Each structure stands twice: as C-alpha cells, then as structure tokens.
Amino acid sequence: MSQIKLPEDFVTYPEARKKAFMALKALKESGRRVVGTYCTYTPQELVDAADATPVSLCAIGEENIPPAEKVLPKNLCPLIKASFGGAVSDRCPFYYFSDMVLAETTCDGKKKMYEYLGKMKHTHVMQLPPGRTGEGALAFWKLEMEALRRDLENFYGITITDEKLRQAIKLRNRERKAILNYYEVGTLKPSPISGYELNTIITSNEYAFDIEKKIAFLEKRTAELIEKYHAECEGKPSRPRILISGCPTHGVIDKVIKRIEELGADVVGFENCCGPREKKDPVDETKDPITALAEKYLRVNCSVMSPNPGRLEALGEQIDDYKVDGVIEVVLMACHTYAIESSAVKEYVTKEKGIPFLSITTDYSTTDQGQIDTRLGAFIELLG
C-alpha cells in the first residue's frame, strides 16, 4: 500500500477543527456574531452582511452518534446523527458558540432533526422548494431569502443594507473563484496534488474565518502546485484517475478518499458538496441582491431536488474536464435521495460516458473498512 505525499505543514481535518475552536472562541470574545449553518443552500452572503461569521455545524465522528440515538432513530444518515449528537451533548463547540442556527428543509431527516434543534437555540429554517423548476419555485425561495434577512435583522437588532449585501456577494464570489482554481489543479494529468489533501484543505477551510486570508492561502497553494506540476509531474505516467460523487465526504475522508489513493489511484475531483459544483456558479453581481441570491442558491444540484438533472450535467462536465477513468459514488447510510439517484448516475456514467462506476454505502464507523478496501482494490485493479 503506497503512502500519500503531503506538504510538511499539512493539517488533518480533525486537527483543523480543533484549531478552529480556539479561533472561534477568540472571535466570540471579541464580540463577533456567529451563525451556525449546515448546507450548501445556505446564503452565506446574508450572514456576512449581518456582520456575523457563518460556521459549519455539519459534524463528523462516531462519538457523536450515541447521544443522537437517544432521540433520533438508529436508521438515519450518520451526518444528521453526528450533527445532532454534537449539538445535544455540547461536544460541538461550534454549535455552543453559535448565537443562532440557520438551516434549510433539504432531506426529510435533516428537516425533522431541526425541529429538535429549534427547542435548544433560535433556529431559522428556510423552506426550500422541492424542485428548481416548479412554477413559483423561485418566487417562493426569494420570499424565504427576505424572511431570513428580516429574522437576522430582528435577532441582532440591526439593518442589513443592500450595499452590505453587494459587498458580501463580491467577496464570496472571489472566494468561490479561489476555491475553484485550487480544485482545477486536479485537471492536470498526472495530478500534482492528492485528493486527500484537496478534500481536507477545502473542508478545513470552512473553519478559516478570515475570508481574505483564506483566499490568499488558496491562491498561493494553487500557484505552488502548478509550478510543481511543470517541474516534477508533466509528461510522467498517471495512475487511474477517480472522480468522487454522492454525499458529502468530510466524515469519511480517511476511510474512503485516503484509501483509494493508498490502493493505487488518484482522486482528482469531487462532484459532491465538497467539490467545485457550487463554486462554478457565482452570484450575479449586477442584479438586485436578494433576487441574485435566490437564483444562485436554487441552482445547487443536490439530490434533495426533484427532478435534479443538473447533477448529471455537472458530472459529465467533470468527467471530461478532469480526464476521469472511473467514478466512485459515496452514499451515506440511509440517505434515500442519493441512494435513489444512484441507478441513474450509474447508467449515465457507464453508458453515456463509457467508464466504470462503483457505489459504496457507508457510515462513520470503521467496522466496514475491510469490506470497503476489498471493493476499492478490485475496482482500481479493473481500471488498470
């Protein structure tokens, strides 16, 4: 099994979260507002415009599951259970430091879990339309943006001006571009960066609260990697190139992403919430900010939307751009929306794109590591 080469100053995702506790504590003590969030549908710009810092409450860790299962059913997605367990057990300092929670009615499990969270702390739940294309979907979602703006204003006793919103949109668009450019290093063949590092840096960056610093870090790292490609990698043979699809993978980075690379393939891209899907699509800076935010966040290609054709389009583009040899889909246990879309994704990948596909269903425990290794190993061997 080969070792993944990582930069000397590499910080793992759990380490980055630990470091962020202290940074958030300092922010809080300085009087900064903090809003806990869960999802790619969250209009972060509205939180920024309230002079608040959005912080991800999407938890990982097996230790957060037992406290959750005292209230929630065992047969539920581990991401929902870990997020709830971290909050109710006070193990999640990000939840603890959040003044309020901002959530969206995405999948059934999450939206029902938010009802319990709402009993502990002020929780604003944005009602998401069930599909992007339905008549009235955009108008409804725009009303939800306005309702969030009012709630933030009332909760903090402030006014969120259009000017503040425009500034926030510009800054987040710059951040999106920096993240996208970093991801696109993975399009180089052979890739100068491991998918493990890519996934870790991007998810850890959710806890880098100074956006300007985050942009500067990503721009520097992207330039270094492009230089490394020309100096050390260009013209060399490539290992099989894998694209990850499906549920968010921050809770299974070690168990799936790292293992794929240790078993002999390169993870070059992510077609999931940990990937560039949303980063490719900036907020329109020329429109009224609420309309622009509603339009942008309704375009997120998540399986909770029905229908969800944008996911296959994005997948196809990424397979081509990242010169992918095979797709591995990660479905978190009991995630019905991604599990149901899996057949359509398999058909698209194997028939339309003509490359192999593997779907893995897993949770945050380590009990299935042996079985996962066997399946990953066989798949990678097939790719040659």
Q: What is the spatial distance between Cα 288 and Cα 286, in angstroms, rounded to a whole number?
A: 7
- C-beta of residue 221 within 8 angstroms of C-beta of residue 52: no
Q: What are phi and psi of 169, to 5 degrees?
A: -60, -45
Please identify, among the stretches 37-45, 94-102, 226-234, 360-368, the one whose residues bind ligand BJ8 according to the rule CB under 6 A: 37-45
Q: Check binding of 253 to ligand BJ8 (CB under 6 A).
A: no
How many residues form the binding site for ligand BJ8 (CB under 6 A)? Answer: 20
Q: What is the spatial distance between Cα 300 and Cα 308, in angstroms, rounded to a whole number?
A: 9
Nearest to 246 by CA among 109, 365, 358: 358
Q: Check binding of 293 to ligand BJ8 (CB under 6 A).
A: no
Position among 13, 17, 41, 132 found at the interface with ligand BJ8 (CB under 6 A): 41
Q: Check binding of 199 to ligand BJ8 (CB under 6 A).
A: no
Q: What is the spatial distance between Cα 28 and Cα 22, in angstroms, rounded to a whole number?
A: 10
User: In this structure, what DSSP letter does residue 324 have?
Assistant: -
What is the nearest approach in angstroms of ligand BJ8 to the Cβ of residue 313? 16
Q: Check binding of 39 to ligand BJ8 (CB under 6 A).
A: yes
DSSP H or E segment with residue 37: strand 33-37
What is the nearest approach in angstroms of ligand BJ8 to the Cβ of residue 173? 19
- Amino acid identity of residue 83, one-letter, is S
Choose between 37 and 191: whose C-beta lies nearer to ligand BJ8.
37
What is the nearest approach in angstroms of ligand BJ8 to the Cβ of residue 270? 12
β-pairing, 33-37 with 241-246? unpaired
Choose between 109 and 289: whose C-beta lies nearer to ligand BJ8.
109
Please identify, among the stretches 48-56, 64-72, 298-306, 357-365, the one whose residues bind ligand BJ8 according to the rule CB under 6 A: 298-306
What is the nearest approach in angstroms of ligand BJ8 to the Cβ of residue 103? 10
Place of tokens 């081509």: 320
Position among 60, 185, 193, 304 found at the interface with ligand BJ8 (CB under 6 A): 304
Choose between 54 and 109: whose C-beta lies nearer to ligand BJ8.
109
| Interface of this chain with ligand BJ8, residues 64 to 123, rule: CB under 6 A | 77, 79-80, 106-107, 109-110
Q: Is 248 helix (H, G, I), strand (E, B) or coil?
A: coil
Q: What is the spatial distance between Cα 273 and Cα 17, in angstroms, rounded to a whole number?
A: 18
Choose between 67 and 275: whose C-beta lies nearer to ligand BJ8.
275
For residue 177, count CB atoms less than 10 angstroms from its CB and return exposed for 0-12, middle for 13-18, buried for 19 or more.
middle
| Interface of this chain with ligand BJ8, residues 330 to 369, rule: CB under 6 A | 332, 335, 337-338
What is the nearest approach in angstroms of ligand BJ8 to the Cβ of residue 332? 4
What is the nearest approach in angstroms of ligand BJ8 to the Cβ of residue 74? 14
CB crowding 112-142: b at 16 or more within 10 Å, else e: ebbeebeeeeebbbbebbeebeeeebbeebb
What is the nearest approach in angstroms of ligand BJ8 to the Cβ of residue 294? 16
Place of tokens 């987040």: 172
Choose between 205 and 222: whose C-beta lies nearer to ligand BJ8.
205
For residues 6 to 25, the per-residue mask of contacts with ligand BJ8, x marking binding by CB under 6 A and - elsewhere, is --------------------
Choose between 39 and 152: whose C-beta lies nearer to ligand BJ8.
39
Q: Check binding of 302 to ligand BJ8 (CB under 6 A).
A: yes
Q: What are phi and psi of 245, to 5 degrees?
A: -130, 170
Choose between 41 and 97: whose C-beta lies nearer to ligand BJ8.
41
What angle do the packed helices 309-321 and 336-347 form, to 10 degrees?
50
Torsion of CA 289, 294, 296, 297, to 10 degrees: 130
Cis peptide before 7 (omega within 30 of 0): no
β-pairing, 326-332 with 266-271? unpaired
Choose between 283 and 335: whose C-beta lies nearer to ligand BJ8.
335
What is the nearest approach in angstroms of ligand BJ8 to the Cβ of residue 362? 11
- Contact positions toward ligand BJ8, by CB under 6 A? 39-41, 77, 79-80, 106-107, 109-110, 247-248, 273, 300, 302, 304, 332, 335, 337-338
